[in-house]
Structure 1
Amino acid sequence: MSLFAKLQRRADEGRPVRVGLIGAGKFGAMYLSQAPRTPGIHLIAVADLSPDRARASLRRVGWEEARFAARGLEEAARAGTTLVTEDADAMIASPFVDIVIDATGSPAAGIRHALRAFAAAKHIVMVNVEADVLAGPLLARKAAEAGVIYSMASGDQPALIAELVDWARTIGLEVICAGKGTKYLPAYHASTPDTVWGHYGFSESQVAGGDFNPQMFNSFLDGTKSALEMAAVANACGLTPPRDGLAFPPCGVDDLPSILKPVADGGLLTERGTVEVVSSVERDGRPVFRDLRWGVYAVFEAPSPYVRDCFAQYGLKTDASGRFAATYKPYHLIGLELGISVASIAVRGEATGATGDWRGDVAATAKRALRAGERLDGEGGFTVYGKLMPAAESLAQDALPIGLAHNMVLKTDVPAGRAVRWSDVAYEADQEAIRVRREMEDLFRGATGRAAG
């Protein structure tokens, strides 16, 4: 039975899936626009640090005022309406909530909400890739111990990539490389909130007339968001991050099988089973033909001459050898697709992408020469960008994760292009996010040591 049919049955039986959303920003608002249109779903509460912003989001996506006028969760459950609240912890703990969605974008908040969801035996959809990369492998273990599901968010690129990887492996194909597209040039790593609009091509009047957050937009441009998403994919799919960070090769959809294959076969990859992001522009700024800027892909190899012949017979675009082919999805609709995760958890008991082993990490890397006494300003800021690396290398370098590189003061100088280390910064070890991250590092460092012994 399809997801939709199973949701319809729950609606007919008066047993809707009761969902609590944390964060009413862009991703959250997109889900808010679709939840009332989905049978068997009751969005029982929206928690946001600014309830007024949450109400504005509900109005903007077409909700009538009466629908979100509930004064408490019990009233919302009884009347089929929605509570708007600033108390996410109380919402998570409520017996009237089945599934929690964290769409905050704050690593510390995501970790906090996940731990509270586990304590309350609630499933959680982690839209918050920043939190997932910071501590997801440990959170996944804690979710399993609690007997609940910790899931990626359908509609976001990591979950869609994981779906393509799962499809290929399930039909017996080895995944050589998987990833997404974006707009990238090498100069973007040094981009700051002061330069970001020029790179995007937005005029001052366009920026002044819209709701634009320069640091958020810059995190997409300077490579940080791509690094975070590829670390999440590596951890969910058992793939290996490139040892020298993402290369961002210019590549259109027709060239995926020719470029994203091993060096020994004429491609760019130093190893099989990796992640990579392709650029939608050539290094001189010209647009790539049939680019994949908004989409995701997986490259796989024919395991036998017979399968290679099948690729040709059924029209797959391959490399010159006919062995390597690719599948791709040219778009992603982020929050509009989030209902797939909610439905999959509720009626199938399955995550839409599940974090596993710790294979990829994202290190805070100096955009310029940094001086002792400077304060780091985090993802998309003026001081650091996120660089993807294998988790083992991150541990070896004692690298500071990008998810914690906010408001920490440097104790030492850090040269441009070098990862900031834990020893370079002053920090409060008892902060929850730091404590959880250090716990994960100790856990996997111990596992690595035992394996080596």
Structure 2
Amino acid sequence: MNLYSLMQQRTEAQGPIRVGVIGAGKFSSMFLTQASTTPGIHVVGVADINVPKAKAALERTGWAAERYAAVSLEDAVKTGGTHVLENSDELISFGPIEVILEITGNPIIGTYHALKAIDNGKHVIMVNVEADCMVGPILQRRAQAAGVVYAMAYGDQPALICEMVDWARTVGFDVVAAGKGTKYLPEYNYSTPDTVWNYYGFTDEQLASGDYNPKMFNSFLDGTKSAIEMAAVANGTGLIPQDEGLNFTPAGVDELSTLIIPKEHGGTLSRTGTVEIVSSLNRDGSDVYRDLRWGVYVTFEARTDYAVQCFAEYGVQTDPSGRFGELYRPYHMIGLELGVSIAAAVLRGEATGSPTGFRGDVVTTAKKDLRAGDTLDGEGGYTVFGKLAPAAVSLERNALPLGLAHGAKLIRDVPKDRTVSWDDIDADESLLAVQVRRELEAEFRAEHEAEQAAAA
């Protein structure tokens, strides 16, 4: 409730929070435009493999050229300016920087950046959900041991969903489900970068006027991004994915408490205490009334009859029984809200959502019949998409995590809609991300076996 006043006090006493940004895409640009007018945040450096692109992002988001003209990171600290550089290692290892924002979207390089930042005593705001859902529990534990914060990015949907789950539990409700809205039809699972624009309805003129990445947009459409974000939410909240993954139930904001509850109570869920995506399209392609395409939600159950009575008295949207309620936020503002994560990490030592265990995973799934010798192209591509699964189910299948699918070469055929397993590829065990993922899987298996032994 008092982050802003804490940031004012910090700025007056010690100067603004010193931040390093890795990646200069859309999310980063949204953060940068806010940081340009926030006295409590000093962007010391922006690292991107394409320096002209990074400078263009600063210019586009309202930065005067003299503000990012610092010739070095040391110069940026002295002048209050910003240095734009290609070398992310130099940014991460620079002593005065307190917080690293990892915004590359690449799960392999993101894992490396996070570990290096933790080793250098920096707080990490992991905008890179692709890396977080793949190895986040290991990164969080490493950060905790190092005395720094590893956090989801406030403004992105997973952190906002975690906040709503925390609210419901804190006030004493049982969380039934939590998630977000998106535009979805089953046929979208097989969309490719060649078909994505037709599904979105963008014109050639629109595409020519903006920075539209077809693979990125396709990952939102084909269900991969939804699986990634819900795996992160599951790992951060303790909610367990349904065995079938995500149903993408068509539901508007007035129907959440009726539809996104267990089947035995008239809803669509196969379990309670789970994550789910709601679609803004009915299965016939028509628009859902009062959809939640850009928003997030939580459904919850009252524990007492008196609480049910209070729901009715205060106009809470409920199911017909009056026992299941809902709360939603109609939209999220992505990078515009990222300052909350930065302030919470530095001023309170708190994470705006962080993995507490390995409960959800994104399994690589064939979009078409794949042949030995094919090379997978990862998230949003032509060959595979990501499906949500409980972690235990993923490991039973020896599933290849979606974050490691880009560039992987198949050594045997995989039929359409089948999970791609570790055994189906020639894995590069020298990759740091592969090694960290193997560590996570080994630890989970050991914990699972110990729990089974204790139960027996």
Taking structure 1 as the reference length, what is the TM-score of the superposition? 0.99
Aligned counterparts, 1:230-379, within 5 A: 230-379=230-379
**Aligned pairs, number:** 453
CA contact (8 A) 1:20 1:44 kept: yes
- Deviation at residue 308 of structure 1 after TM alignment: 0.4
CA contact (8 A) 1:99 1:124 kept: yes
Structure 1: gaps (5+ residues):
none
Instruction: Please provide the CA RMSD for this pair.
Output: 1.0
Report whether the alignment pairs 1:155 with 2:155: yes
Give the SS at the match of 2:408. Answer: strand
- Deviation at residue 121 of structure 1 after TM alignment: 1.1
Q: CA offsets, 1:276-302, max 9 Å, x none?
A: 000001000110000000000000011
Report whether the alignment pairs 1:107 with 2:104: no
CA contact (8 A) 1:9 1:40 kept: no
Q: What corresponds to 2:55 in structure 1?
A: 55
- Deviation at residue 355 of structure 1 after TM alignment: 1.0
CA contact (8 A) 2:68 2:84 kept: yes
Mapped partners of 2:354, 2:39: distance in 1: 25
Q: CA offsets, 1:161-199, max 9 Å, x none?
A: 001000110001110000000000000001111111111
Give the SS at the match of 1:291. Answer: coil
Mapped partners of 1:204, 1:56: distance in 2: 23
2:269 alignment partner AA? L
CA contact (8 A) 1:24 1:46 kept: yes
Q: CA offsets, 1:401-443, max 9 Å, x none?
A: 1101011111111011111000101121111111111111111
Q: CA offsets, 1:54-94, max 9 Å, x none?
A: 10000001101111111112211111111111111111111
Mapped partners of 1:220, 1:131: distance in 2: 16
- Deviation at residue 205 of structure 1 after TM alignment: 3.5
Runs in 1 of length 4+ with deviation above 4 angstroms? Answer: none
2:254 alignment partner AA? D
Q: CA offsets, 1:218-272, max 9 Å, x none?
A: 0000000000000000000000111112100100000000001111111111111
CA contact (8 A) 1:260 1:299 kept: yes
Mapped partners of 1:203, 1:54: distance in 2: 27
Structure 2: gaps (5+ residues):
none
Aligned counterparts, 1:58-207, within 5 A: 58-207=58-207
Q: What corresponds to 2:5 in structure 1?
A: 5
- Deviation at residue 210 of structure 1 after TM alignment: 2.7
- Deviation at residue 450 of structure 1 after TM alignment: 1.8
Report whether the alignment pairs 1:427 with 2:447: no
CA contact (8 A) 1:76 1:82 kept: yes
Mapped partners of 2:174, 2:200: distance in 1: 37
Mapped partners of 2:38, 2:193: distance in 1: 38
1:426 alignment partner AA? D
Mapped partners of 1:171, 1:117: distance in 2: 35
Mapped partners of 2:95, 2:208: distance in 1: 44
Mapped partners of 1:209, 1:345: distance in 2: 37
Mapped partners of 1:209, 1:350: distance in 2: 40
- Deviation at residue 327 of structure 1 after TM alignment: 0.3
More divergent stretch after superposition (71-80 vs 24-33) = 71-80
CA contact (8 A) 2:36 2:62 kept: no
Mapped partners of 2:41, 2:206: distance in 1: 38
CA contact (8 A) 1:7 1:39 kept: no
Aligned counterparts, 1:434-445, within 5 A: 434-445=434-445
2:271 alignment partner AA? E
Mapped partners of 1:365, 1:191: distance in 2: 13
Mapped partners of 2:313, 2:430: distance in 1: 60
Q: Percent identity?
A: 55
Mapped partners of 2:101, 2:210: distance in 1: 27
Mapped partners of 1:176, 1:427: distance in 2: 38
CA contact (8 A) 1:261 1:267 kept: yes
Give the SS at the match of 2:145. Answer: helix
